[in-house]
Structure 1
Amino acid sequence: MIAGGSLQASGTRLGLPYGTAASATFNLRHRLAAAGALRELQVGLQRLADHLDAVPHLVDYHRRRHALATWSLPQADWHRLSEHLPERTSRRFNDDVRRNTAAVLIWMEVTQGQSHQAPLVHQARAAAHPARSPLLVSIAETGSQRRNDRAWDLRPIAADLDAYALNLAAKIDQPSN
């Protein structure tokens, strides 16, 4: 939209399927028109676009998502991160599931996306029995436990995962030579 496109085009650039973006736009416009607030939305969006145009260094989340489209947490990095997990950490999920859960958490931080948008989650959903996917179960449980401020399997290394995500984001954001 800021680059001159439609709301639907903006949604697809952010990784939303065109149909989802179009449906959300239709519903938003319909509800705002019924409430007499459509003009206020347009003015607010223009103010936001003007503000973003004035910001010198914007984060290109599209670039980040594109860079991480096929990314997974390297085994060596996971080994370094997971060595700080205490021995008593739950072993409900095997190490590969825990590594992929960590990768989804890192992906979410770098892209500021939701877990259901992560490529590893898409792959798990495309499997023969997605309801039985240990990764999907782990992601759902982790999300619930984090929202409710309860202990979660990777909590002891949460700061390390955040630091890893910041470092990864910085690498992606570096201009190509």
Structure 2
Amino acid sequence: MKSSLHLTRGGSVRHLRRVASLKLAEMSGGGTWPQCAQALCIPWNTAQHSLKTLKEKLKPHHLWPALGQSVETLARHLDCGTQRIDYQHRRATLQRWRLPDAHWRELSDGLGHFQQGTTSPSNAAATVLIWAEVTQGDHLHSPLLSSLREAGHNTHQLVASINQLRTPANRKGTKRELLHRIEAYAGRLGATCDPTSVTIPPDHDASPL
């Protein structure tokens, strides 16, 4: 699968993850791909776009079957695992979660210059990044961004802010420190969401700090 992974570096990594998730859902639960997309909280039009994009990249190189084989190998590896995370449960738990203002102040403490500029890191950007890390979900379809779109709000600046933090070239200095803090926070929050831990209500402000 090395060749196919090489083809899908950059902007297409997201498509690879979506399609692999769809295939895993199909293998484990059956059903149509639209049903699998619904179970994974992926809009069907988004799933279709990823399928089309990935097929266009892989089929000319005869790598589409290799993707299926790789997913089957991954499924066997997951079957052998003794510890599994229920990401669907995490997504349900965090459906209405937002990063408390006090926690954002702690995460950004000492990084005051981030308060400048329309695309500077913000509480909202951190909320989306933490949700994506905890749930391994697509940040573009996080509950916060989805609710803003449904309410008719423009999300371009927020998405640009998130993308600036996610860009590898920007992972340095204070931005790298902020990402480290966000990842650590997400790790603690994720542990509180799992069924073996004390489950937090979906509308509760979790306090992993």
- TM-score normalised by structure 1 residue count: 0.72
Aligned to 2:136: 112
Aligned to 1:139: 162
Aligned to 1:3: 28
Which letter does structure 1 place at the counterpart of 2:185?
A: Y
Deviation at 1:68, TM superposition (A): 1.5
Aligned to 1:160: 181
* Counterpart pick for 1:125 among 145, 149, 170: 149
After superposition, residues 40-79 of structure 1 pair within 5 angstroms as 42-79=68-105
Deviation at 1:12, TM superposition (A): 2.8
Which letter does structure 1 place at the counterpart of 2:88?
A: H
Q: How many aligned positions are there?
A: 172
Residues 152/125 of structure 1: CA separation in 2 closer, same or farther (3 Å cut): farther
Aligned to 1:148: 169
Alignment deviations for residues 68-109 of structure 1 (CA, whole Å, 9 cap, x no partner): 111100122223323x233444422499x7111111111121
Aligned to 1:171: 192
CA–CA separation in structure 2 for the residues paired with 1:13 and 1:147? 31
Residues 4/120 of structure 1: CA separation in 2 closer, same or farther (3 Å cut): closer
Deviation at 1:152, TM superposition (A): 8.0
Which letter does structure 2 place at the counterpart of 1:56?
A: T
Contact kept, 8 Å, 2:119 with 2:161, in 1: the verdict is: no
Deviation at 1:176, TM superposition (A): 6.6
Unaligned stretches of 5+ in structure 2? 1-25, 199-209
Q: Which has the larger radius of gyration?
A: 1
Which letter does structure 2 place at the counterpart of 1:55?
A: G
Which letter does structure 1 place at the counterpart of 2:191?
A: A
CA–CA separation in structure 2 for the residues paired with 1:66 and 1:108? 13
CA–CA separation in structure 1 for the residues paired with 2:76 and 2:94? 29
Contact kept, 8 Å, 2:165 with 2:171, in 1: the verdict is: no
Aligned to 2:207: none
Secondary structure of 1:3's aligned partner? helix
Which letter does structure 2 place at the counterpart of 1:110?
A: V
* Counterpart pick for 1:101 among 117, 125, 132: 125
Which letter does structure 2 place at the counterpart of 1:149?
A: N
Contact kept, 8 Å, 1:102 with 1:154, in 2: the verdict is: no
CA–CA separation in structure 2 for the residues paired with 1:39 and 1:91? 48
Unaligned stretches of 5+ in structure 1? none
- TM-score normalised by structure 2 residue count: 0.63
* Counterpart pick for 2:110 among 76, 85, 105: 85
CA–CA separation in structure 2 for the residues paired with 1:86 and 1:149? 15
CA–CA separation in structure 2 for the residues paired with 1:123 and 1:152? 32
* Percent identity between the two aligned chains: 31
Deviation at 1:165, TM superposition (A): 0.2
Which region of structure 1 is more displaced relative to structure 2, 59-68 or 146-155? 146-155
Deviation at 1:4, TM superposition (A): 3.1
CA RMSD of aligned residues (A): 3.6
